[in-house]
Amino acid sequence: MVRLRFEGWQSDNIPVAWLLLIRFRAKLLTALAGIIFASILIHVQFGLQAAMFESSVRIFKSFNADAVLINKLTVSSTSLQPFDRSQLAIFNRYPEVTATMPVRYQFVRWRYPGLRESRLAIMVGFNPRMPVFTREDIIKNQRLLIPPGRILYDELSRKEFGPVKQKLQKEREVLVFVNKERAKVAGLVRMGTSFSYDASLLTSLSTFEDLTSSNSENIEIGLIKLVPGTSPEAFLASIQDRVPDDVRVFSLNDFMKFEQEYWDQAKPIGFVFAFNAALGFVVGMLILYQILYTDVSSHLPDFSTMLALSFTYKHIRMIVFRESFLLTIIGYPLGVVASMLLFELISSFTGLPVRMAMDRALFCFGIILLMSTCSAFFAMQKLDDANPIEVFE
C-alpha cells in the first residue's frame, strides 16, 4: 500500500503537490508562464536600474584621482557648471596633495561626414601629458591628442554616429565635425554609453576650448591626487572650513554616489523602474493565485476525503504551499535564462552595461518566492470550503 506522508520527501512518499500540478498540463504551463513573465520583468527592471547607476559614473570611475572639485551649483553631470580653475590650484598648497588636474566636460553636437543629422555626445577635455585616467586604452592613446584638433572616439558609441571604427582601420585619421568645427579622430577607446549620452569623445584642453569656444580659465571638474596612503575622507574633513564657498569637494567615491543619487531620486526614471518591478510582482502573483485557486477548487472533494481520513488542514495547506514552491523552483531558472538572453539583446543594441549579477539574481529569487508564497496563502483560503461530512452524504 502506498503511504501518504507530508513530513518529508522520503523516496517512499507520493509527491502529492507534484502530481496535482502535472495532472492538468495547461494549468502548469500557464502558472510557469506567469512566474517566468514576472521574473523577466523584475530582472529587466533591476538590471536596467543597475545599468543606469553604473553607466552614469563610467567616465568618473576611470579618473586617476582621490577627490573631485565641482561648482556648488552643479546637481549632476548632465549640467556641470563651470568654475575658475584657480579654485583648483588652491589645493596645491596642501602637503597631502601630489597633483591637481583640470578636466573639461560638456555636451557637444557631433556629425559624421555624409550624415545629415548631428547627434549629442559628451566630450571630455584633459591634459594628455598628465595621468588623468587609469584605463589602459586611454593611457596608451592619449599621446595622440597632443597635436591640435585631435580626438579619441569611443568605439562602443551607437552606430548612428557613423562607421568611425571601420574607417579608422583603413585610414590614419577620420575627419568629423564637432559643433560645426572640423576635428580628426586619431584613435579609439572603449568607454560605453549611458542614459544621458550615446557617444563619448576625449580630447586635449586646448582642442576642447577650440571646439566649444569656451573660456580657457574655466573648468567643469577638478581632480585632486593625494599622497599614497592618505585617507580622502580625513583630508577633506581637515580642510572643509577652508574650501571656497562657490565650490564643493568630494572624495571620488562620494562624487559617484552624488551622481547616482541624482538619477535615483531627482529623475523620474528611478521611480519607473521600481513601479514596473512592482507591477511584475502583482501581475505574476495574480496569475499564480488564479491557477492555485482553481486547482484547490477542483480538488475540494479530494481534500475533503483526506480530511475525513484524519489528515489535518495543516497537511492540506502544505500541499498548496509546495505546489507554489515547485512552480517557483521550476519557473525561476527559466526566467533567469530568458532574462540573460534579453540582457544580451539590450546590451548589443544600446551599449548599456546590462548583465546578470549573482546578488541581484538571489534578491530577485527572494521576490519571486515571496510572490508565490503570497499567492499560495490567498489560494489556501478556499480550503475552508472543504467539508469532510460531504464525503459521507
Which range among 73-82, 97-106, 298-307, 311-320 shows the weakest confidence by mean pLDDT?
298-307
Q: How far apart are CA 323 and CA 17, in angstroms?
A: 5
The predicted structure's pLDDT at residue 13: 56
Cβ neighbours of residue 377 closer than 8 Å, sequence gap 6 or more: none
Confidence class of residue 385 from pLDDT cuts 50, 70 and 90?
low
Instruction: Give the Å distances, CA to CA, from 215 to 109, 210, 212, 342.
Output: 18, 10, 9, 45
The mean pLDDT of the chain is 86
Average pLDDT (74-94) is 92
N residues, the chain: 393
Does residue 252 carry a pLDDT above 70?
yes
**3-state secondary structure at position 175:** strand
Q: How far apart are CA 171 and CA 186, in angstroms?
A: 10
The predicted structure's pLDDT at residue 324: 85
Q: How far apart are CA 138 and CA 202, in angstroms?
A: 9
Pairwise pLDDT comparison (4 vs 106), residue with the higher score: 106
The CB density around residue 216, as the number of other CB atoms within 10 Å, is 12
Question: Residue 352: which of 101, 53, 2, 88 has the closest Cα?
Answer: 53
The CB density around residue 261, as the number of other CB atoms within 10 Å, is 13
The predicted structure's pLDDT at residue 177: 94
Average pLDDT (5-13) is 44
Amino acid sitting at position 237: A
C-alpha cell at 121: 555626445
